[in-house]
């Protein structure tokens, strides 16, 4: 559901073989550890690892929900393809949303480092999150431009000399959420909104911890723990009910 009704997301557990097939990305970021169960009204989540005390949940999905889930799973499995025109245009759109009025000299350019990519070719950084990580960044820029620009330009707080790279952090957040959640969504945009919340929450954790570049993995772990706490709150019925949602600005 969306609009005034909010965006709902539920989560299911996959078997080890199913998980390997669905989440075949690799990453050196140590961001997915620990386990718990989250049970809320309209939003149910189960972390990747199981404890004996965890409840095993099952879901009876409507055909519409099944369709939304399949679309989301299809998005997760798409790798970024630098030869795909649609992917090229999406990358160009991200630049325009990030630096309006500044001409991009090419899809391979030193300019990309200004956004926080590791090199002059952003396609090499999408291996961990796939094309959906680019879609997440575009959704963030288009729907919460104020928060997007605040994080991109590091406008808030007492910043470190060595800051986290914005774009690479975004890919890591997508990767963390994919591994952290097995998603069933009544509205696939719930994942995109959760991404925006997580990015803003990560930056808030970064400031609160007075973190520097070498602390990035520690900040990501702290961000995950905060997400878990918020999703355990009994009154959470939709993504927009999460306390950290208020951090977002349009």
pLDDT reported for residue 146? 96
pLDDT reported for residue 126? 86
Residue 18 located in a structural domain: no
The bridge status of strand 9-11 relative to strand 37-39 is unpaired
pLDDT truncated to tens, each residue of the chain (250 aa)?
A: 344 455 544 433 333 333 333 323 333 333 332 222 322 223 333 333 333 444 434 446 678 777 777 888 888 889 999 999 999 999 999 999 999 999 999 999 999 999 999 999 999 998 778 999 999 999 999 999 999 999 999 998 888 889 999 999 999 999 888 877 654 445 667 889 999 999 999 999 999 999 999 999 999 999 999 998 988 887 877 888 899 999 998 8
- 102 is in which domain, residue-wise? 63-247
Quote the number of domains for the chain. 1
Contact predicate 48/182, CB 8 Å: yes
Work out the number of other CB atoms within 10 angstroms of the CB of residue 62: 9
Residue 43 located in a structural domain: no
Residue 119 located in a structural domain: yes
Q: How far apart are CA 248 and CA 143, in angstroms?
A: 10
- CA torsion 204-208-209-213 (nearest 10°) is 40
pLDDT reported for residue 5? 52
**β-sheet bridge partners, residue 113:** none
Residue 11 located in a structural domain: no
- For the whole model, what pTM was predicted? 0.72
Residue 190 located in a structural domain: yes
Residue 47 located in a structural domain: no
Residue 37 located in a structural domain: no
Residue 106 located in a structural domain: yes
């Amino acid at each position: 559901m969306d609009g005034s009704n909010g965006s709902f997301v539920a989560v299911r557990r996959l078997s080890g073989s199913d998980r390997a097939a669905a989440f075949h990305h690799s990453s050196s970021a140590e961001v997915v550890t620990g386990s718990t169960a989250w049970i809320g009204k309209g939003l149910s989540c189960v972390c990747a690892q199981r404890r004996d005390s965890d409840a095993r949940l099952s879901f009876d999905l409507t055909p519409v929900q099944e369709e939304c889930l399949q679309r989301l799973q299809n998005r997760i499995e798409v790798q970024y393809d630098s030869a795909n025109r649609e992917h090229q245009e999406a990358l160009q759109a991200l630049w325009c949303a990030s630096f309006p009025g500044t001409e991009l000299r090419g899809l391979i350019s030193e300019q990309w480092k200004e956004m926080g990519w590791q090199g002059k070719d952003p396609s090499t950084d999408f291996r961990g999150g796939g094309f959906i990580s680019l879609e997440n960044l575009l959704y963030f820029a288009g729907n919460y431009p104020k928060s997007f620009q605040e994080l991109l330009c590091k406008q808030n707080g007492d910043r470190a000399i060595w800051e986290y790279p914005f774009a690479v952090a975004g890919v890591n957040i997508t990767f963390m959420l994919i591994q952290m959640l097995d998603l069933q969504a009544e509205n696939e945009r719930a994942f995109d909104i959760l991404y925006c919340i997580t990015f803003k929450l990560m930056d808030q954790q970064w400031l609160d911890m007075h973190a520097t570049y070498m602390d990035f993995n520690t900040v990501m772990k702290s961000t995950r723990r905060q997400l878990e706490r918020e999703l355990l709150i009994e009154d959470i019925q939709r993504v927009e009910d999460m306390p950290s949602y208020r951090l977002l600005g349009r």
